[in-house]
Amino acid sequence: MMIGIVSRLTDQKGFDLIAYIMDELCHDAVQIVVLGTGEEQYENMFRHFDWKYNNKVSANIYYSESMSHKIYASCDAFLMPSLFEPCGLSQLMALRYGTIPIVRETGGLKDTVEPYNEYESKGTGFSFVNYNAHEMLYTIRYAEKVYYDRKREWNKMIDRAMAVDFSWQVSANKYQEMYDWLIG
């Protein structure tokens, strides 16, 4: 399972959580590819993990729009454990590409990623509530379990993710419905 991260490398994006569990995560059957620039501590952190787990981690400390599209398109999951996220575009791009988001439930991430429900076969991604590294790791491992052991469910989630429509036309229609209801 390949997990992608395309981001500004800043505190806001939850990289301190990733730093805390990266050694544990790299013992799993995953690969991690990172694209972005930002705070030196996070750039160096990802460089270090690339060096330490060269066959598991690819740190691309630069930004390229064409490379970002390749990462969205080739990864199985997209990790976005933000401390806060007023809107968030990365998870929307991941959904469009069928790359399953793993997010912390905050702001726009909570509004746009429906958590997977294995009992009702619903959801477009995976989420965790608390800003806690091991809660994030547990969620990633749950996603891995679905990816490896329940491939049919994973593929259904991809279909649901790609079908979600966050276009302005949908918003405009909702406003029109509300205005029509208000005027009776």
| Rounded Cα distance, 55 and 73, in Å | 20
- Does the pLDDT at position 39 exceed 90? yes
Instruction: Answer for the pair 133, 17: CB distance below 8 angstroms, yes or no.
Output: yes
Stronger pLDDT, 159 or 86, i.e. the higher one: 159
Region 17-32 average pLDDT: 96
Helices (H), 4-150: 15-25, 40-52, 65-74, 90-97, 107-112, 133-149
Q: Specify burial of residue 178 (Cβ count, 10 A radius: 0-12, 13-18, 19+).
A: exposed
Region 76-89 average pLDDT: 95
- Does the pLDDT at position 66 exceed 90? yes
What digits encode the pLDDT tens for the residues 138-147? 999 999 999 9
Q: What pLDDT, on the 0 to 100 scale, is given for residue 78?
A: 98
Q: Specify burial of residue 55 (Cβ count, 10 A radius: 0-12, 13-18, 19+).
A: exposed
Region 114-131 average pLDDT: 97
φ/ψ of 14, rounded to 5, equals 85, 20
What digits encode the pLDDT tens for the residues 130-184? 999 999 999 999 999 999 999 999 999 999 999 998 888 888 888 899 999 999 8
**pTM beyond 0.85, yes or no:** yes
Angle at which helices 90-97 and 65-74 pack, to 10 degrees?
A: 50
Helices (H), 27-106: 40-52, 65-74, 90-97
Region 91-120 average pLDDT: 97
**Residue 76: both structure tokens together:** 């199985």
Q: What pLDDT, on the 0 to 100 scale, is given for residue 184?
A: 84
Is 3.40.50.2000 the CATH number for 2-183? yes
CA distances from 112 to 88, 96, 103, 171 (A): 9, 12, 10, 13
| Selection from 77, 63, 70 nearest residue 32 by Cα | 77
| Rounded Cα distance, 4 and 98, in Å | 12
Q: What pLDDT, on the 0 to 100 scale, is given for residue 166?
A: 82
Question: CB under 8 Å to 151, separation ≥6 — which residues?
Answer: none
